[in-house]
Chain A
């Protein structure tokens, strides 16, 4: 998921990628609902899923723009990223963590 998100952020996203992300998440937490059901016993599973679902539900347009423009609509990656640039994922490369939609 991280690799797909990073790819979208870098401008190589495809239209199907958001669906793919959601589908992968569905494999971790079936039905994508809260409380999660039919998941693995691992409590980290739903936690990994929730930012992706939030991304779909609340930032779908932004993702679409990333894909359409072939890059970040809010400025080049690596620019000052404080509050001005709501990157999909943190521009830092290490450590590789998915921090959610509004870092």
Chain B
């Protein structure tokens, strides 16, 4: 054992709590040490993931200091060897009761109509540690109630017990301190700053943190009583880290998600998108019966008929032109089991390798699947230097954002951010480099030639974690690989996290939903196909087409049939016209989806699929962690899980997939996908562990491919276009979630105030942007965070035109 490892071994000290001797880790807070060894000390302000503040005083216990007994707050004092603690002495109890009596002196007793009633720490602890009755007859303080402090959160200041949890969360964890204490004494209240709403991407966490009903969430308000809720644990697919959540439902209606504390991913926090973006599940627009297009209109048909139609047509195309004339797009939104079913269906039944789960966010499949030095999220905590060269984590990877912020702010890592404009982490960045969209390669070349030596020096630290992805649509996928290659070359020890934004892309790629991959991070080829022969039979061995090639071939007629599974290329591709023209031209399109979207409306047959919360399975997050998702309600109408639909279609095409249930598929995955060997559902029980990072045994999979540092030249235009995703956009799930959809910024063009006169732009007024691929009007936002010469347009906004990926843009007066 090295010295370093020794120092990490926790030392234990002996303390006495209520007459019992206990061994507890040295330096731990008394309240935590007591709880871990079986004594619960009441608390309101203390939270294990935040710094102690000792605000509420209810955790007061009596400690023999050696100079006589003293009352101390257990949350502010670390244990010391020989400490003698009495949590239930008469003095301690009296103090605890006094605190609760004081809190209740002003807390309204509207528990019967309070959302928190039944799961309220104040209620519970008033019962367990309170005095039983109040001797105060004074009038309670009153405030106007409730006041909306953001679009999602309402504040009832009368109920507030001033524990500093919500305000601390915003200061310490999410980094947007938009709520704070105001006034003094009896009049103290939590509120927002004038003119600044609590517009935080993480505001929902304060609702969950609140130990009383002072903060309530609009989507859940007055909807249910906690004791009526049916609960199941799951992993959120609306965040790439797949944060652990609990789904709460009543009578098959999803009412809320809550974050579950865990060390592996989210520490219990959720972004508002992951927390509130569930309403689509109940949307009236959900598909509930199979639809077939007849004379231009969709007609409802039964499953048997729909399956027959689909199977016959795919069978016909396959028999006439071979599997190469059929293609499959999608599979990244569902479970690994569904992705595996799709992968098997395409290869076995359709006899094609034209399979892709990626859209515009196409980091190369081998880069995503084969990064052998892939970082775990927890590596951020150990890192000396964190490099983020990719999307704004706050917008696209909220859990990673919180974890990276913590690593820098609390654990002292050096942070290097490279992005075309301001990002959510800039306030904590040690070094920040900006570049013009499309000029990433030039910056990389300059870095390798020795410019910005402070950045290169930071990359030579002991432990480097590099998060690389596509910062701007103009950058393209090669840049991220080149950045990775550069960092690998320069850093002494580096682990990499390729950033891809779609829900379960990593799982889908691991299941082989790429033209050149097979399940389990295996390259497609004669050998690997032969290894699958037992279950898969004979399958094509040559790599197929990726999404953009499929779309081209649809237009040229080389590919005649297309299966879309939970995919919306028209909505998601940076150049939607290419996708919609391709789908228009396609001879035969089948969509398996929850909604009719911009792409599936071109389909000849639409089959209704079950969605999240309706099916069981596993998913794989950005670090390769496999976790369970669970079902809590049936899907609407006749909707069915993807795997069952695909199994039926294959059966009618006379090729058996042999898929029986998600769990049976999971067993087949463990058998056929080398990276998933040893992964079983039993292993994924939540009580035991937070999923497992694959591979848990055997080889790490593919090795990475060296990449050159050369790439496209920097654009020379006066004005360059930066298009990037935001947390809220016009994605199909958010579009059908009313409380979240309104938060999308809409068609906006951010420009630097210095550019405004030159472009003839005024804040709030529309400006027309013209690129090679499209044009549209956008409302001008004057924004210091966008460098001069750059115009930033959030991607895929409701009502916004798509501008494509080309960084050259011209600005004109609107409407011309």
Min CB gap B523→A, angstroms: 66
Task: Determine whether the beta carbon of A7 is less than 8 Å from that of B68.
Answer: no
For chain B, give the interface size range. 10 to 19
Q: A14 — which chain B residues lie within 8 A by C-beta?
A: 137
State the CA gap A38–B89 with chains docked (Å). 13
Q: How far is the CA of A3 from the CA of B94 in the complex (A)?
A: 22
Q: Judge if B71 is at the interface, Cβ distance under 8 Å.
A: yes
> Does A38 lie within 8 Å of B70, measured CB to CB?
yes
Contact, CB under 8 Å: A3 / B95: no
* B69, CB-defined interface residue at 8 Å: yes
A27 touching B94, Cβ below 8 Å:
yes
Cβ–Cβ contact B98 & A30, under 8 A? no
Bound-state CA distance A48–B137 (Å) is 21
Tell me if A27 and B135 are in contact (CB < 8 A). no
- Give A7-33 as 1s and 0s: 1 = Cβ < 8 Å from B's Cβ atoms: 100000010100010011011001000
Q: Which residues of B contact A23 (CB under 8 A)?
A: 98, 135
Asked whether A16 lies within 8 Å of B135 as measured between CB atoms, the reply is yes
Cα of A20 to Cα of B137 in the assembled complex, Å? 11
Question: Is B125 in contact with chain A by the CB < 8 A criterion?
Answer: no
- The interface residues of chain B, by DSSP majority, are classed as mixed
Judge whether A4 is part of the interface by a CB distance below 8 angstroms: yes
Contacts of B71 in A (CB 8 A): 30, 38
**Smallest Cβ distance from A102 to chain B, in angstroms?**
25
| Shortest beta-carbon distance from A43 to chain B in Å | 16
| B91 is an interface residue with CB less than 8 A from chain A | yes
* Bound-state Cα–Cα, A26 to B90, Å: 13
The one of A20, A27, A37 that contacts B68, using a Cβ cutoff of 8 Å? A37
With A24-B98, A27-B94, A27-B98 already in contact, the answer to whether A3 and B70 are too (CB < 8 A) is: no
Assembly CA distance A14 to B138 (angstroms): 12
**Residues B135 and A20 in contact, CB atoms below 8 Å apart:** yes
B99 CB to nearest chain A CB (Å): 8
In the complex, chain B residues whose CB is within 8 Å of the CB of A16: 135
The answer to whether B91 and A38 touch across the interface, beta carbons within 8 angstroms, is yes
Q: Are the CB atoms of A3 and B98 closer together than 8 Å?
A: no
Residues of A within 8 A of B68 (CB): 37
CB distance from B532 to the nearest CB of A (A): 70
User: When the two chains form their complex, are residues B70 and A7 in contact, meaning their CB atoms are under 8 A apart?
Assistant: no
Chain A residues within 8 Å of B57, by CB: 40
Chain B residues in 8 Å Cβ range of A27: 94-95, 98-99
State the CA gap A40–B94 with chains docked (Å): 14
Type the 1/0 row for B132-151, where 1 means its CB is closer than 8 Å to any CB of A.
00011110000000000000
Give per-residue flags for A63-96: 1 if the beta carbon is below 8 A from chain B beta carbons, else 0: 0000000000000000000000000000000000
What is the minimal beta-carbon distance from B377 to any residue of chain A, in angstroms?
A: 39
Q: What's the nearest-Cβ distance from chain A to residue B130, in Å?
A: 14
Nearest CB of A to B424, in Å? 38
Q: Which of B94, B95, B138 contacts A7 (CB 8 A)?
A: B138
Q: Mark B94-125, 1 if CB is under 8 A from A, else 0.
A: 11001100000000000000000000000000
Q: Which residues of A contact B98 (CB under 8 A)?
A: 23-24, 27
> In the bound complex, what is the Cα–Cα distance between A54 and B98 (angstroms)?
22
CA A40 to CA B95, docked complex, whole Å: 11
Q: Which B residues from 36 to 77 make CB contacts under 8 A with A?
A: 57, 68-71
Q: Are B138 and A4 in contact, CB atoms less than 8 angstroms apart? A: yes
B138 pairs with A3, CB closer than 8 A: yes
B interface with A by C-beta (< 8 Å): 57, 68-71, 91, 94-95, 98-99, 135-138
Name 5 A/B residue pairs within 8 A (Cβ), A-sorted.
A4-B136, A23-B98, A23-B135, A30-B95, A40-B57
Known: A7-B137, A23-B135. 17 other contacts (CB 8 A): A3-B138, A4-B136, A7-B138, A14-B137, A16-B135, A20-B136, A23-B98, A26-B94, A27-B94, A27-B98, A27-B99, A30-B71, A30-B95, A38-B70, A38-B71, A38-B91, A40-B57
Residues of A within 8 A of B (CB): 3-4, 7, 14, 16, 20, 23-24, 26-27, 30, 37-38, 40
Which 8 pairs across A and B sit closest by C-beta, in order of nearness? A27-B98, A3-B138, A20-B135, A38-B71, A38-B70, A30-B91, A27-B95, A38-B69
